[in-house]
């Protein structure tokens, strides 16, 4: 049987958290990762623009004959996938529905919080996915536009004073709402899970959508799995590979020893 | 004589501060503005990527038969212009040399500070321009990567606690260095000039590079000027025009009553 890879993309580096989970849960699989680092971030852009970029990302990865696609970007999953997933004939897993199901399974008091980029929260995608399974859930959604630049600037320590101040500002209404389950609806946010967890307290469960999406893929019985051999990983970016390699380990949980290849936006268009 | 417009571009909205100065100083001129909002910010990207985007921006504006170009982006001016300005046969004004000259004229103690994006500070362009005029100047350069996201999220009030904390962190070494002149080397920074000025104190002169670039253009004797008629302004962006119109007044100092047109990246490539 032909050995097909799994495609993963994100606007930048955050989606490497999904690669990390893939390597852990499905170590036999080959992975093609595309980070659109030449146009990151997506979360501040308009819906039509996010849809256009997402289509281009999918188009690029389909060129590798992938057997499934993971949209490891909260913004693309929320804003673009509901509009375009039906146009493709392969399994495309976003991070929204898996995270919504996990939150519904996890909550005890029915109060669920959702954090995301401005575009993600504006789309209402997480709320709709949760309400479809749990109509009486009490939801609190808060856009956290400064989290991505903070993470990208390495401000991730729970003792960083700027991060602490921003966490406190964004999450105080979440605490007041009494949520017991909190969706970290952007792939950057698990990187600051410690700071978020310290503020929210131990009794609040944090949901990592990329991890939930990979769990779903792992359990997808219709997906032909590689039974043997060790998986490989190829990385593509639209900005400088050197910038990528420098920061990737934060998300990937290991150093990038593979070559990182640059593509131009013209090539993915 | 044929009436040619002046082209202005920036990675996003910050360059509208240059349009504001143009409208004030040269009210008879027609302006074509391009904000590459579909790929903003430039300041976190690699030099080769910034050069490629800058060439595309210039290519797009040249399609309007502009008589001069203002690169109202600290990052593109610092990183790209030294490498590519010689390839074009029309006047291209960046914000670096005008700001450097203004700082040299302004300083009394010879201690000049430079703030900019990571890419701008990394390029050393402001330092080189100052040292060419004033070799014994004592320079302090500090990258301020969180300023752009703060401004873009409307965190511009001097009483905003996050802005205050970040200003204090970035500018404490500047204060300790005893600079009496400070270049706000990114078009976003003049928007938070009040917060920066409050921290640095009244005795420190703040240099707005976009204003200095437009002053240079105004005095450029070789440039044919429009002598009569009221100037017009056309705005182009690569993300949603609605997002642009919403935030533009902060930089432009007036509401945008003109139509804002969207172009795709394919059209400028």
Cis amide linkage into residue A41, ω under 30° from 0: yes
Q: In what order do the strands lie in the sheet with A92-93?
A: A92-93, A68-71, A6-10, A31-35, A233-237, A260-262
Contacting residues of A for B59, CB less than 8 Å apart: none
DSSP track, B37-76: TTT---TTS-HHHHHHHHHHHHHHHHTTT-SEEEE--HHI
CATH class name, domain B96-208: alpha beta
Could you give the residue numbers annotated as active site of B? 73, 186
Domain ranges across chain B = 6-94+213-268, 96-208
Tens digit of each residue's pLDDT (9 = 90 or more) over A4-41: 999 999 999 999 999 999 999 999 999 999 999 999 99
Tens digit of each residue's pLDDT (9 = 90 or more) over A206-242: 999 999 999 999 999 999 999 888 899 999 999 999 9
Instruction: Provide the residue-wise pLDDT of chain B in tens; the chain has 269 residues.
Output: 678 999 999 999 999 999 999 999 999 999 999 999 999 999 999 999 999 999 999 999 999 999 999 999 999 999 999 999 999 999 999 999 999 999 999 999 999 999 999 999 999 999 999 999 999 999 999 999 999 999 989 999 999 999 999 999 999 999 999 999 999 999 999 999 999 999 999 999 999 999 999 999 999 999 999 988 789 999 999 999 998 988 899 899 999 999 999 998 777 66
Which CATH code for domain A96-209?
3.40.50.1860
Interchain proximity A146–B149, CB inside 8 Å: yes
Q: What is the mean pLDDT of residues A97-120?
A: 97
Nearest to A162 among B47, B152, B166 (CB): B166
Model-wide pTM > 0.90: yes
Q: Could you say which residues from 138 to 177 on chain A have a Cβ atom under 8 Å away from some Cβ of chain B?
A: 145-146, 148-150, 152-153, 155, 161-162, 165-166, 169
Interchain proximity B165–A169, CB inside 8 Å: no
Per-residue pLDDT at B2: 77
Q: Is A73 a catalytic residue?
A: yes
Interchain proximity B38–A39, CB inside 8 Å: yes
Q: Is A144 a catalytic residue?
A: no
Per-residue pLDDT at B1: 60
Catalytic residue among A58, A95, A104, A186: A186
Task: Evaluate if residue A268 carries a pLDDT over 70.
Answer: no
Which CATH code for domain B6-94+213-268?
3.40.50.1860
Using CB atoms within 10 A of its CB, is residue A48 exposed (0-12), middle (13-18) or buried (19+)?
A: middle
The complex scores an ipTM of 0.91
Cis amide linkage into residue B41, ω under 30° from 0: yes
Per-residue pLDDT at A245: 87
Q: Quote the DSSP letter at residue B255.
A: -
Catalytic residue among A51, A73, A213, A248: A73
Residue environment code for B237-259, b if the CB has 16+ CB neighbours within 10 A, otherwise e: bbbbbebbbebbebbbeeebeee
Contacting residues of B for A38, CB less than 8 Å apart: 39, 45, 49
Instruction: Decide: A73 and A99 in contact? Cβ < 8 Å.
Output: no
């Amino acid at each position: 049987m032909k050995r097909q890879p799994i495609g993963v993309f994100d606007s930048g580096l955050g989606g490497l958290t999904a690669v990390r989970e893939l390597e852990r849960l499905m170590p036999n699989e080959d992975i093609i990762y595309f980070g659109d680092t030449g146009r990151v971030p997506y979360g501040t852009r308009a819906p039509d623009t996010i849809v256009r970029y997402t289509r281009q990302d999918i188009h690029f990865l389909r060129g590798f004959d992938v057997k499934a696609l993971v949209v490891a970007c909260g913004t693309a999953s929320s804003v673009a996938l509901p509009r375009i997933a039906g146009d493709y004939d392969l399994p495309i897993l976003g991070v929204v529905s898996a995270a919504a199901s996990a939150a519904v399974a996890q909550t005890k008091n029915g109060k669920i919080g959702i954090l995301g980029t401005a575009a993600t929260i504006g789309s209402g995608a997480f709320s709709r996915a949760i309400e479809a399974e749990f109509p009486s859930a009490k939801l609190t959604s808060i856009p956290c536009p400064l989290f991505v630049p903070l993470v990208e600037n390495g401000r991730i320590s729970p003792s960083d004073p700027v991060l602490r101040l921003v966490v406190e500002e964004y999450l105080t209404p979440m605490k007041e709402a009494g949520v017991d389950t909190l969706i970290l609806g952007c792939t950057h946010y698990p990187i600051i899970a410690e700071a978020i967890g310290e503020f929210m307290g131990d009794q609040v469960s944090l949901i990592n959508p990329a991890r939930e999406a990979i769990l779903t893929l792992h359990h997808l019985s219709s997906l032909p799995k590689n039974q043997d051999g060790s998986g490989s990983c190829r990385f593509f970016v639209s900005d400088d590979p050197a910038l990528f390699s420098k920061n990737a380990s934060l998300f990937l949980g290991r150093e990038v020893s593979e070559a990182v290849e640059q593509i131009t936006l013209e090539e993915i268009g």
